[in-house]
Amino acid sequence: MGKGIIEVFLEYWPIFLRGAIGTLEFAFIAVLLGSVLGALVALCSLSKNKIINTIASIYVNVLRGTPLLVQMYISYYFIPMAIPALNSIDKLYYVILALVLNSSAYVSEIIRGGINAVDKGQTEAARSLGMTARHTMTKIVLPQAIKNILPALANEYIAMIKETSLAGTFMLYELMYTRTLLANKFLVWQPLFIIAAIYLVMTLVLSWLVRLMEKRLSVSD
C-alpha cells in the first residue's frame, strides 16, 4: 500500500506549502484585477446607453455561461496563435488572464447588485439637491453599496481558490499541481487526500473570517 497520508505530508510538506501559497496568490491576483475590470463592466451594465449595456451583458453571460477550463484553453492556445507578437510572453500569464476575466464577470454582478440594492429614493433625493451623477455615485451610493459588496467579494475569493485547481492542468504551480509533482514519485492517492484537506482548511478559515466581516458590517449599520 506504500506510505501513509501523514507520512507523505510530513515528508513533502514544503511542496504542499508552496502549492497552497501559490493558490492563495493566484486567487488574490485574479479577484483583485477582476475587481478592477469588474467595476468597469458593472458601470457599463448600469449605463443607459443600450449598446454599452448590451456589450457588458454579452461579456458577463459568455464568461459566466462557459466552463472556466474552456476559457483557459482558449486563452492559453488561441491568443498566442492569433497574435504572434505575444508569443514571447510566458503562456502561464494567459492562464492567469483567464482567471482574471472569469472573476471579473462574477465581480461585475456583485458590484451591480450592491449598487442596485441601495434605495433609489436616496439617489433621487441627491439629484434633486443638485448633486451630479458622479458625486451621487461616489458620495451616496458606493459608501452604502460597499457593505453589500465586500462580503460577496470575499466569497468570490473563496470560490476562486477552488477554481485555481484547474490551473494545475497548465503546470501553474498551485496546490493541485503538487499532485502532478508527487505522481513522479509514485504517490498517487495520498496527495489527493492531503490536497483536499488543505483546501477544506483554507475555505473554512476564510468563510469564518467572512462571517466575522458580515457581523461587523451589520453592527455598523
How far apart, in Å, are the Cα atoms of 73 and each of 59, 108, 163?
18, 23, 14
Q: Which amino acid, 64? A: R
Region 186-210: mean pLDDT is 93
Q: All 3 cell numbers of residue 215?
A: 457581523
Residue 15 forms part of a structural domain = no
User: Which pLDDT does position 1 carry in this prediction?
Assistant: 54
Which residue range(s) make up the domain with 81?
Answer: 25-176
In this structure, what CATH number is given to the domain that contains residue 48?
A: 1.10.3720.10
Residue 6 forms part of a structural domain = no
Q: Do residues 145 and 115 make contact, with C-beta atoms less than 8 angstroms apart?
A: yes
* CA 14 – CA 27 distance, rounded (Å): 20
Residue 12 forms part of a structural domain = no
Q: For the segment 28-72, what is each residue's pLDDT rounded down to a tens digit?
A: 999 999 999 999 999 999 888 999 999 999 999 999 999 999 999
* CA 199 – CA 194 distance, rounded (Å): 9
Residue 144 forms part of a structural domain = yes
- Secondary structure class of 174 (helix, strand, coil): coil
Residue 211 forms part of a structural domain = no
pLDDT > 90? residue 155 = yes
How far apart, in Å, are the Cα atoms of 206 and each of 42, 126, 199, 203, 212?
26, 37, 11, 5, 10
Count of structural domains within the chain: 1
Region 79-104: mean pLDDT is 90
Residue 8 forms part of a structural domain = no
Residue 99 forms part of a structural domain = yes
Residue 145 forms part of a structural domain = yes
| N residues, the chain | 221
